[in-house]
Every structure is written in structure tokens, then in C-alpha cells.
Amino acid sequence: MKKILSVLNRLEEGTLVVGLLGLAFMSFIEVISRYLFNHSFTWFEEFARYFGVFLTFLGASLGVKYGMHFSMDYVVTRVGPTVGRIMRIVGSLLAAALFFYVSYLAFRHCSKMFRYGVTSAAMKLPMYLAYAPITLFGFTMSVRLVGEAWRHFKAIKSQEALFPSEKIEDQGEEAGS
């Protein structure tokens, strides 16, 4: 199972890197084509928009995996390790519920797009494919946030520090006692 997850993680990261580089390269080609040759590809703007949504949600999912999202943790770091972990558990579970709900709504929307056969204007891409990344990566973020909450829960039980700042605070509290 760990090997499968490792392969999926590398696939996600590789897709994001190659996708961003590819999108930047294609944008460069589009600008050159438009300004030097006075020719614009009709499908590119639409493709860039939908692929940008895909890359955004993929990157957001990876941001959850690596804990790279912006957070305001002033209170969490001031209340002590156990209470801080409980607050992180609650925050992670609330965020997981939110992203699961967003994923559910996106799935309903994709289902309607599929049922009605809606396609994009320039590429004639089925629109359910354009909205599918929201469903997929919203669900992925939910799962990762539940996993994060579980790691915090296990850290409470084992009294392990998950962050370097917790070790410093724990030592400071012990020294001040």
C-alpha cells in the first residue's frame, strides 16, 4: 500500500511540475504567435483556463499534504501542545468537511453537465471534464485533512511533538516549572 501511495504522490508532483512548465511554455508560444505572426489559437485561452483550474486544485491538494497552506496559529501556539493539537484536529476536521461538501457539490454539478451533454465553446470539451478536478482534488484534500487530524490525535496519545516549535515550547514549559 505504501508503494502505491508513493507512486501516486510522485505522479501528482510530476503532473504539477510538468503541467506548470507546459502551461508556461504554451502561453509563451501563444504570445509569440499573437504578436509576431498576428495569429491566435482559438482554443488556447479556454484550455489554459481549465488546465489552470486542474493545476490549482492539484497544487492545493499537495499543499495540504505538505502542510504548506497559510495558517494563523498564534492562539494554537500559545495554549500549550495538547490544547493546540486539539484545536488543529478540530480545524482539520472542519476543513475536511468543507472540502468534502465542495467535492459533493462539484460531483452533482459534473453529473448535470454529463447528463445535459454541455460542451465548451472553443474545444467542444465535455464540461463535466472541466469541473471534475474540483470533485477529485476536493475529495483528496478531505482525505488528507482527516489524515492530518489523525496524526495530531496520535501525537496527543503518544505525547510526541509534530512540529519543532512544540519541542521548544515543551522544554520552555518544563524549565519554567
Q: What is the pLDDT of residue 170?
A: 46
* Residue type at position 104: Y
Tell me: pLDDT of 176 over 80. no
Q: Express each pLDDT in 110-145 by its tens digit.
A: 999 999 999 999 999 999 999 999 999 999 999 999
Q: Cβ of 50: how many Cβ atoms within 10 Å? A: 19
DSSP character for 80? Answer: -
| DSSP H or E stretch at residue 150 | helix 127-158
**Structural domain boundaries of the chain?**
2-176
